[in-house]
Every structure is written in structure tokens, then in C-alpha cells.
Amino acid sequence: MKVALIQMNSQADKAANIAQAEALVAEAAAEGPDLVVLPEYWSALCDRREEFHASAEDLSGDRPGGDAYGAMREMARRHRITLHGGSIVERAGNAHYNTTVVFGPDGAEIARYRKIHLFDVDVPGGVRFRESETIAPGGEVVTYDCKGHRVGCAICYDIRFPELFRALRDRGAELIVLPAAFTLMTGKDHWEVLARARAIETQTHFLAVGQYGTHAGGRKACWGHSMVVDPWGHVIAQVGDHVGWTVARIDHDYTRKVRTALPVHDHHVM
């Protein structure tokens, strides 16, 4: 199984972001991946609540979504890939969610995950961020199948809550995908450490896919460093400090060897 991670520098311009994603996915698809992953808020990485809500798409009904949903569906179908659509803002009635949508190679939606843990922080003398003022939390643990293997869903701040990843492992996840827009401040110290920890404790291949660079007129910045971590905690592929993509082969035999040699999943007592 081959995976591709797309690292973007999304802004508030939805049409420009969609064009950027289409170009990067087309480049990566030429390498023949089975699964391609976009970052969090790939279609619109905004600064204000009103901008996020203006980018939202209604995913209900017989004809769900708008421009971003349609673009993801078409990219999956055109390139015959499973597309893990990072996340977009979903409008559901009066609520808005940070939502991953996954499409199969035929363009049909196969999974949908709403981010559970919301990033609310107040750093004394520093940044204040309240995702809960813009986004409602989800509550469902979500997996799907790709090429006969189970894939688990998480988004960004979820990475700090190991109980979610244990739940994904309990549901049979062999890969876990985490699209993100990790901040520069926390990313430089925590991004790789947390991604490797989640891979080691779940004994899965962990795909951490980030936004990179500045947005909001240069006032905010994302860390990037999208990476694939193997079940032993080794980084086997990574995008550098730029917009771009990387590919990696997932060795499922290696996953089985790790789980056999160190069967921690069988030793849980709580």
C-alpha cells in the first residue's frame, strides 16, 4: 500500500486553495498512491469566525457539499485514489463542524469524521484561541477501509488525547491519519514527539499531515513537517519547509511483526 501526504499553505481564498490542492494531488497521484491525504482546513484556512462560517458546506441531503466537496470527489475519481480530505467546515443546521470527508476511487463518500477535541487556549501574555467559538465538537470514533486495511480518523488537537487513538486501535486501525494546521509555536516542540508517541502506543503507521507557513496576513503560522511514522516510531517520510508532498510505502507485514513481538494491545487491564 502506498500513501501520499499533501502539505499546503492554504489562505482564506477558497478557489485558490482548491486549485492548489488539485495541482498537488495530480503531482502526487503520478507516483501511484492508493491513499492521498490533504491537511486540516485545506479549502479555507481563515482568521475570523465569520470567514470560517462563510467557507462552510452543507453535507446533508441527496446532493451534499459545495465547491470543496465536489473537488474532492472529482480528484478521487479522476486519479482512482482514496482521498482523505483533510478537513473542511461543515454546516449542519445552526452548528458548524471541523469535518474530514473521505472518498473512494469511484468518487463515492466512504467516511465522515467530526473533530472531537477543540483547541481552546489562553497563554498568559500570549496567544488566545477559542476553536469552540467557531466549531462544535463531534462525538463519534470513525474508521474506514482502504485496500483491505482499516484506517482511523483524527484531526490536529486530537493528537494530545491518547484515549482516542486507543479507541481507534481497538476498532482495528492499522493506519491512523491526522490532518492538522499545527501552530509554529507548539509544532516545533511537540509535533514530531506526539506523532511518534501515537504511532508507538497504537503500533500503527501514523500519517500526520500539516499546513505550512503563514496565513491571516502573516499574523499566524503553521509548522508543516508532514510525516509518516512507522509502528516502531521511526519517521520514514517527511515534507520539508515548503509546500509539497511526499510518498511512502506502508509495510503491513512489518506492522504484524511489531504487534507480535510486543503485544501491548493484549495487555491492557483498564
Active site residues: 40, 115, 156
Q: How far is CA 216 from CA 157, 188, 226, in A?
A: 20, 20, 21
Please give the grid coordinates belonging to residue 75: 480528484
Longest dimension (CA), the chain: 51
Cβ contacts of 7 within 8 Å, gap of 6 or more: 39, 209, 210, 211, 212, 224, 226, 239, 242, 243, 244, 245, 246
Phi-psi sector, 156: left (phi>0), alpha (psi -120 to 50), beta? left
Place of cell 499545527: 182
Please give the grid coordinates belonging to residue 16: 485558490
Residue 185 and residue 37 in contact, taking contact as beta carbons nearer than 8 Å: no
Residue 239 and residue 228 in contact, taking contact as beta carbons nearer than 8 Å: no
Determine how β-strand 227-229 pairs with β-strand 235-238. antiparallel
Residue 38 and residue 8 in contact, taking contact as beta carbons nearer than 8 Å: yes
Within its chain, how far is the Cα of 256 from the centroid?
Answer: 24
Q: Three-class SS of residue 131?
A: helix
Cα 58 from Cα 71, distance rounded (Å) = 15
Please give the grid coordinates belonging to residue 114: 467530526
